[in-house]
Structure 1
Amino acid sequence: MNKREPAAYPVVPILFEDNHVLGVSKPVNIPSQEDATGDPDMLTILKQDIKDRYNKPGNVFLGLVHRLDRPVGGAMVFAKTSKAASRLSESVRNRSFRKQYVAVVHGIPAKTSGRLVNMLYKDARTNTVHVTSKGTDGAKEAILDYNVLHTAEDYSLVLIELHTGRPHQIRVQLSHAGLPLFGDQKYGSKVNKAGQQIALWSILVGFPHPVTKEDITIRSMPPSLYPWSLFPMDKLESSLRSDL
């Protein structure tokens, strides 16, 4: 399938930009990089945008530093030079690259905060991930911290900080803990309806600038649509400010 023309590309809000780094708010349902669907992806869209805005000839360099699952929106960072890409990738490896998410989950956790540690195994044939036992060949440790910010009806708004970056990590770990994400068809099909948008949002990315070493923080708030609209977004912003 051929990609659509650049004129049809969605607008991607820019949150931070200098000569080395580009921080944006990824719209939902756009892949982070090119996949088999041929749909417009973040790398292609942003390269074209840089080319257009700066009237750049030839190929534009843009490095993918981290990924968001296709249905997930929010803060995302790209490198504009190969040196920045290398240094940001090192920040990811040494865990100085901070990633926070908010999610709406089914149910109310017994503990208002805690840490989840699981061994995850990815089945490449089905593109699914599941919790397994230590010692399983190919399994990798996954760690996240969570904090319940608000509850409404039988849902909870949860702030999540990732300490590892495993595929589908948040979705799998919370589902395994009995807290499947709203709208997650893959790991919460028993409680979600077809067509619902997954309620998972990259709300913050923080990292040392690859050149200046300054602490950079990029934030993106979820849309005021259901189920996010169940929770007061001003209080969410306050909770984030007090947490950081």
Structure 2
Amino acid sequence: MKKFHKLGWIAAAMFAAVPAQAHAQLTLLGQSATGLSGGGLGAVATVLTLQSPGSTTAESGCIGPTGVNCGFTDANVQSGQSQLRLVSAFPGLTGSNFRLFLNAAEPTGDNSITVNNAVVRLYSGNTQVFSSVAFTSPLTLNNTLPGTGNYGFLFGLSTTDQALFQAALMANPGATIGVGASLTNVTGGQESFSVGTDAGGGTTSVVPEPSTYLLMASGLVALGMLKRKRRTS
């Protein structure tokens, strides 16, 4: 009986050692999805609009509560076309149906941009209550097509971030949505980020890291060895 209890404690310890899954960056779901297909500034719930000045090819910025550092250099934010959005403006909003829509208005013949980073944040007053994780590597988007509202890229939250986003929504029904982004290989503009919901789904699963599998396998091997020893004794 004592050996059985010992076996249970060892199993609990081994599986407790498995690290929790880390966040995953925003997931690219496709282009021009139903319900969020651009339409130009003012036709969608635009949160952040960026434009690279002159002949430069990089732009960065974020939108957050006044006086709060939202984590990006703001030199390229178009202030008249960027604003926080109340979550209450999107009935039925959840972590799984939240969508971020990027419309890149690049000139004819320049059909790709690089998103170095993009994050979605929730604020309760001046306090940040949720943030999606930063990109682990730049993401190149092709086929942008010219013109504001012509074509766009749709993003959703990872499975892990969906749960965290949902918990923040429930705890902060009066929260606002902010966005931050950094892009390169941009020669036109404006690039606008809009938010909304998509009942069509498109969620993804977070794949455990190799180290997680290794620890789980080690735990199962240890359990097997202890069980065999118990039978022999």
TM exceeding 0.5: no
TM range (shorter): under 0.3
Higher relative strand content = 1
TM-score in terms of structure 1 length:
0.27
Higher relative helix content = 2
TM-score in terms of structure 2 length:
0.28
Answer with 1 or 2: which has the greater Rg: 2
